[in-house]
Amino acid sequence: DGFNIDAVDLNDLDKKEHEVGTSESLIRGIASRMKQQHYKIGGFEATIHSEVLEGSGLSSSASFEVLIGTILNHEFNEGIISAQEIAQIAQYSENVYFDKPSGLMDQMACSVGNLIMIDFEDKEYPRINQLDTDMLSFGYKLCIVDTKGSHADLTPDYAAIPYEMKQVANYFNKQYLREVDPKLFFESISSLREQCSDRAILRALHFFNENQRVSDAYESLTKNDFNSFLEIIKASGDSSFKYLQNVYSTSDPLNQALSLGIAMSEQILKDQGVTRVHGGGFAGTIQSFVKEDVVKTYQQDIEKIFGKGSCHILSIRHEGGVKVY
């Protein structure tokens, strides 16, 4: 809806350099990967309507990829491809055909649905735990605020994060930080600085603490302890700002829409909610968990800054990619 997508000839599944960064590249990449995995593919015509903001950290590309994968799954494969595998096919398409080094989290969240915790230790078979939690039952709503900055030209900023974390891991002769003993990391800061940048070390510090926060957040929701969950979300967002440093691009430090959005949200909400950067960061959106009785006030006040329609009050659907009969 609003985009013209050229016809993609599935008789030719080779990557096309002129398609890189386009919807056509994602379609061709998904079809190619499905064929590599010995699934059936075929042509179709589709009218697509989306309310997912483009380039704003709301997983617009992942949503599109999962949609295409789900169509091919049900139209030509009788729905036998799992939600997890569709997510992996989508990631392949984005990495190889779209040329964006995305992880698997967005695709998995879109494909599986509901609140989930994912452990990516085994990339082929990530461990997924679903949570049946309704924020409304705790008196809160999730607001996503579009600060109008786009992710479109920020691929180098995103790519630097895993690159720098792997630099730190390599210092300990490991490929990934999760293989490094956190105690050894903290004992080695002085010598680490001789081989890695301070920013890389700060980002690694965020990684170790964030992994623990994820486990703690999951546990708090299983116990219906929403106050602890909110405290963890706040700590995570603060760490993202200070240590992961994904709230603005160092290539354009004068434009800090996310920083402003977080600051003004905290000013508006006080103790009535928590706010943090959403998605990959650097530009795009922030997320706010807001007490239900002040949602309208928050929406009105934040939209005075970022424009009417910039604050979206969302709900989390229980299903991911599905065919509606």
pLDDT of 317 > 90? The answer is: no
Same domain assignment for residues 164 and 298: yes
Same domain assignment for residues 162 and 237: yes
Same domain assignment for residues 91 and 192: no
Kindly report the length of the chain: 325
Residue 291, domain extent: 135-314
pLDDT at 157: 93
One-letter-per-residue 3-state SS of 150-176: CCCCCHHHHHHHHHHHHHHHHHCCCCC
CA-CA distance, 51 to 314, in Å (whole number)? Answer: 11
Query: What distance lies between CA 1 and its chain's CA centroid?
Result: 23
Structure tokens at 247: 């709230």
Same domain assignment for residues 126 and 167: no
Q: CATH number of the domain that 156 lies in?
A: 3.30.70.890
Closest CA to 81 of 30, 45, 115, 44: 30
pLDDT digits (tens, 9 = 90+) for 212-262: 999 999 999 999 999 999 999 999 999 999 999 999 999 899 999 999 999
User: Which of 97, 112, 130 lies at the terminal end of a domain, its last residue?
Assistant: 130
pLDDT digits (tens, 9 = 90+) for 129-164: 888 887 778 999 999 999 987 655 788 998 899 999
Same domain assignment for residues 123 and 181: no
End-to-end Cα, the chain, rounded Å: 22
Quick check: is 158 in a domain?
A: yes
Specify the residue for token string 């379609």: 27
Quick check: is 170 in a domain?
A: yes
Domain count, the chain: 2
Bigger pLDDT: 148 vs 178: 178
Same domain assignment for residues 196 and 245: yes
pLDDT of 324 > 90? The answer is: no
Quick check: is 9 in a domain?
A: no
User: Which of 90, 109, 130 lies at the terminal end of a domain, its last residue?
Assistant: 130
Quick check: is 183 in a domain?
A: yes
Q: Which amino acid is located at 144 in the chain?
A: I
In the structure, what pLDDT confidence band is assigned to residue 60 with cuts at 50, 70 and 90? confident
In the structure, what pLDDT confidence band is assigned to residue 51 with cuts at 50, 70 and 90? confident
Closest CA to 107 of 64, 75, 74: 64
Contacts of 3 (CB under 8 A, 6+ apart): 23
- Entry pTM: 0.81
Quick check: is 95 in a domain?
A: yes
User: Which of 89, 105, 130 lies at the terminal end of a domain, its last residue?
Assistant: 130
